[in-house]
């Protein structure tokens, strides 16, 4: 088995297909050199193998290294550890047993002075920067006229390089001393927002940090992040919806809010909206401890906030809270719309290019700005005594080391179409050539289907007319499709139309939908991907009715369709032979707690 080796950025080099240099020979030579039976080539070590091979053969940089040498700055700060200090792991037990994590932390905190004042405790495991004098330390607390025994058992001294989880917790505390607010594992500065007046938004600048062990030791990765908030309250947005469409107000409100995240400024916390309670308002009663009170009284008493509109509905949110070290329970919250602000970008903002350009002026950060932000972060930590104390108490130090590494800037790629080769340019933006040159491999459309609503006939005709014009320059021939008109846009109507009209010789089916609906889209794709496998293209009718944009929209649709039915748009010269690189397109779904979706 080959041994995996980490490689530096400076080793990521591109090789040309010259003579004796080839991938298979390089890998086999490396395996033989290591005197191991060759089984496979770990993908992450690919460039290391090739670099070793070139050095072994004695080839020069001028022959096998392309591009130009550049200095690259990385967003990492080195963490130093004090060898005279340590991190000590203890197990904490309660007698009689206590299930609640909150109560465990509360009772242990009663003895924090005896523990040195610096600790990290998750309900079971206790970390201290000091070694207690006894292997087992026992504390006693009074709980309702009874004694609660807390036994702290020493387990081991941790290797400081292996405590990355603890270090990440410490940097959460560091950011808190800098008055940053933690939202979804990132930290933002609510005191220095950047106002986007045209979009009525504000952008909170912030950082995302992570500590990990690397070849060069412990490193803090620190990058710029932003949080976008609406400046209008949720109540103001609900009032606007009510004035626009009284009849479908509740339906529109649920569509706008349910599943989205709101922020409450009185505690700088975020909540996901699960439902809108139109049958409740701030005068509604709820129980807090053993007393019933209204939301009006609660906010006046605990937050010193006077609610102005007592007839507004309530926003219902459910969060998971840890009750025991192994279990979580759902905790329900009812929020006041006039105290909530929607986070993220709404669909109407995303579709407005002018607004998106204005927002991008704040959120799109250049490399120089990132470097400046990293230096500013280091200076803030260094100049804040409380932040330094958090690190020093655990034997940690942050250094602004020279994070410069050697790299190579690759030559500009040449994009090959069927009859023409163009330069990708410095920004790799060549979309204008993709829609004006004949595609590399064209599959002509001879048997295809368009399904649309009867009311969307104009959109279907616009699509067909513009496809005929666009396909000429792209080298594609299209025949007249089978047109299927539907009387209504129910999901079952599309399903039945697909089942009735898809034939074995059909190349692709195009569904023009009157509006965007996830359930309808999923149903169409399920039929076309699983039940009756066929390439499919789903198009929103409104995009085909915009005369100013329809040409560019249809050009991109044609490119997609050609790829789906087996064609290809362009290619680049790849020096490696017999190499296939595989990848999966993935993203983080905000509606599903940010889980990765492939």
**How far lies 231's CA from each of 250, 252, 337, 340, 342, in Å?**
22, 20, 13, 10, 8
Q: Which of 282, 150, 212, 161 is nearest to 6 (CA)?
A: 212
- Domain identity same for 500 and 449: yes
**Contact in structure between 226 and 196 (CB atoms under 8 Å):** no
For the domain that residue 148 is a member of, what is the CATH number?
A: 3.30.70
- Domain identity same for 169 and 145: no
Would residue 265 count as lying in a domain? Answer: no
- Domain identity same for 553 and 436: yes
The pair of three-digit structure tokens given for residue 582, joined into one six-digit string:
């595989």
Would residue 187 count as lying in a domain? Answer: yes
Would residue 491 count as lying in a domain? Answer: yes
Would residue 484 count as lying in a domain? Answer: yes
The pair of three-digit structure tokens given for residue 3, joined into one six-digit string:
């041994």
Residue with tokens 């070139």: 54
- pLDDT for the residue 84: 77
pLDDT > 90: what percent of the chain? 45
DSSP string over 433-489? HHTTS--SB---B-SEEEEEEGGGHHHHHHHHHHHHHHHHHHT--BPPPEEEEESS-
Residue with tokens 């005191």: 191
Q: Which domain, by its residues, includes 99?
A: 85-160
Enumerate residues 6+ apart whose C-beta is below 8 A from 133.
Answer: none
Q: Quote the CA–CA distance of 514 and 453 in Å, as a whole number.
A: 7
Q: Using one digit for the tens of pLDDT, what is the confidence trace for 428-439?
A: 888 889 988 999
For the domain that residue 536 is a member of, what is the CATH number?
A: 3.40.50.2300
Lowest mean pLDDT among 63-72, 83-92, 296-305: 63-72
Q: Using one digit for the tens of pLDDT, what is the confidence trace for 530-565?
A: 999 999 999 999 999 988 889 999 999 999 999 999
Q: Using one digit for the tens of pLDDT, what is the confidence trace for 172-221?
A: 999 999 999 998 889 999 999 999 888 889 999 999 999 988 877 888 99
Q: For residues 285-306, give the mean pLDDT.
A: 89
pTM here is 0.68
Domain C-terminal end among 114, 137, 160 = 160
Would residue 417 count as lying in a domain? Answer: no
Pairing of strands 482-486, 448-453: parallel
- Domain identity same for 362 and 219: yes
- Domain identity same for 438 and 554: yes
- Domain identity same for 365 and 435: no
Q: How many domains does the chain have?
A: 5
- Domain identity same for 54 and 170: no
Would residue 381 count as lying in a domain? Answer: yes
**Contact in structure between 329 and 214 (CB atoms under 8 Å):** no
Would residue 415 count as lying in a domain? Answer: no
Higher-confidence residue: 34 or 237? 237
Q: Which of 49, 50, 62, 64 is nearest to 19 (CA)?
A: 64
- pLDDT for the residue 224: 94
- Domain identity same for 173 and 150: no
60: pLDDT strictly greater than 50: no
Q: Which of 116, 122, 121, 126 is nearest to 90 (CA)?
A: 126
Q: Quote the CA–CA distance of 309 and 301 in Å, as a whole number.
A: 17
- Domain identity same for 554 and 536: yes
Would residue 474 count as lying in a domain? Answer: yes
**Contact in structure between 398 and 383 (CB atoms under 8 Å):** no
| Residue burial 171-181, b: 16+ Cβ < 10 Å; e: rest | beebbebbebb
Q: Using one digit for the tens of pLDDT, what is the confidence trace for 349-389?
A: 888 888 888 898 889 998 889 999 999 999 999 999 999 99
Q: Using one digit for the tens of pLDDT, what is the confidence trace for 132-142?
A: 888 998 998 88
User: How many C-beta atoms surround the C-beta of residue 360 within 10 A?
Assistant: 10
54: pLDDT strictly greater than 90: no
Q: Helix (H, G, I), strand (E, B), or coil: what is residue 349?
A: helix
Point out which residues pair with 286 in neighbouring strands.
293
Domain C-terminal end among 109, 137, 160 = 160
- Domain identity same for 450 and 547: yes
- Domain identity same for 472 and 540: yes
Lowest mean pLDDT among 244-258, 365-379, 399-413: 399-413
- pLDDT for the residue 64: 46
41: pLDDT strictly greater than 80: no
The mean predicted confidence, pLDDT, of the chain is 83
10: pLDDT strictly greater than 60: no
Q: For residues 229-249, give the mean pLDDT.
A: 91
Our measurement of the distance from residue 193's CA atom to the centroid of its chain's CA atoms, rounded to an integer in Å, reads 22
- Domain identity same for 480 and 362: no
Q: Using one digit for the tens of pLDDT, what is the confidence trace for 451-468?
A: 999 999 999 999 999 999
Residue with tokens 């020279």: 402
């Amino acid at each position: 088995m080959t041994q995996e080796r980490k490689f530096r950025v400076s080793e990521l080099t591109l090789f040309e297909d010259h003579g004796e240099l080839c991938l298979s020979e390089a890998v086999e030579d490396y395996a033989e050199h290591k005197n191991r039976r060759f089984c496979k080539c770990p993908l992450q070590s690919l460039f290391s193998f090739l670099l070793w091979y070139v050095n072994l053969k004695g080839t020069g940089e001028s022959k096998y290294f392309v591009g130009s040498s550049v200095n690259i700055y990385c967003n990492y700060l080195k963490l130093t550890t004090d060898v005279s200090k340590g991190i000590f792991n203890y197990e904490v037990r309660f007698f009689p047993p206590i299930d609640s994590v909150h109560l465990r932390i509360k009772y242990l905190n009663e003895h924090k002075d005896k523990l040195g004042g610096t600790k990290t405790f998750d309900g079971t495991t206790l970390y201290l920067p000091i070694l207690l004098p006894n292997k087992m330390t026992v504390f006693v607390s009074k709980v309702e006229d009874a004694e609660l025994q807390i036994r702290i058992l020493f387990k081991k001294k941790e290797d400081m390089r292996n405590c990355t989880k603890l270090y990440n917790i410490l940097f959460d505390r560091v950011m808190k001393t800098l008055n940053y607010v933690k939202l979804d594992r990132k930290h933002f500065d609510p005191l220095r927002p950047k106002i986007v007046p045209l979009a009525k938004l504000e952008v909170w600048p912030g950082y995302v940090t992570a500590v990990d062990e690397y070849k060069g030791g412990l490193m803090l990765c620190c990058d710029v992040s932003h949080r976008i908030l609406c400046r209008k309250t949720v109540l103001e947005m609900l009032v606007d919806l009510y004035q626009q469409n009284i009849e479908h107000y509740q339906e529109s409100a649920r569509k706008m809010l349910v599943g989205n995240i709101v922020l409450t400024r009185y505690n700088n916390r975020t909540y996901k909206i699960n439902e809108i309670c139109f049958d409740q308002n701030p005068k509604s009663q709820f129980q807090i401890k053993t007393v019933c009170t209204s939301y009006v009284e609660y906010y006046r008493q605990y937050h010193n906030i006077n609610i102005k509109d007592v007839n507004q509905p309530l926003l219902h949110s459910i969060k998971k809270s840890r009750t025991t070290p192994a279990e979580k329970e759902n905790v329900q919250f009812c929020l006041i719309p006039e105290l909530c602000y929607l986070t993220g970008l709404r669909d109407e903002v995303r579709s407005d290019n002018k607004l998106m350009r204005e927002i991008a002026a704040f959120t799109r950060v250049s490399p120089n700005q990132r470097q400046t932000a990293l230096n500013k972060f280091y200076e803030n930590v260094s100049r804040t005594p409380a932040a330094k104390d958090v690190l020093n108490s655990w034997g940690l130090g942050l250094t602004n080391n020279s994070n410069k590494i050697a790299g190579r800037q690759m030559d500009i790629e040449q994009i090959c179409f069927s009859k023409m080769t163009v330069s990708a340019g410095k920004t790799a933006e060549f979309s204008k050539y993709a829609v004006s040159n004949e595609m590399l491999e064209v599959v002509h459309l001879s048997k295809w289907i368009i399904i649309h609503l009867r009311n969307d006939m104009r959109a279907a005709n616009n699509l067909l007319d513009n496809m005929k014009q666009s396909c000429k320059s792209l080298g594609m021939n299209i025949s007249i499709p089978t047109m299927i008109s539907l009387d209504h846009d129910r999901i079952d109507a599309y399903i039945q139309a697909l089942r009735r009209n898809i034939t074995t010789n059909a190349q692709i089916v195009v569904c023009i939908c009157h509006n965007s609906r996830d359930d309808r889209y999923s149903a169409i794709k399920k039929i076309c991907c699983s039940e009756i496998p066929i390439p499919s293209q789903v198009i929103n009718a409104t995009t085909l009715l915009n005369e100013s944009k329809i040409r560019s929209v249809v050009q991109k649709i044609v490119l997609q369709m050609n790829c789906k039915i087996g064609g290809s748009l362009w290619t680049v010269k790849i020096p490696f032979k017999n190499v296939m690189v595989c990848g999966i397109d993935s993203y983080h779904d905000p509606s599903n707690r940010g889980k990765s979706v492939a």
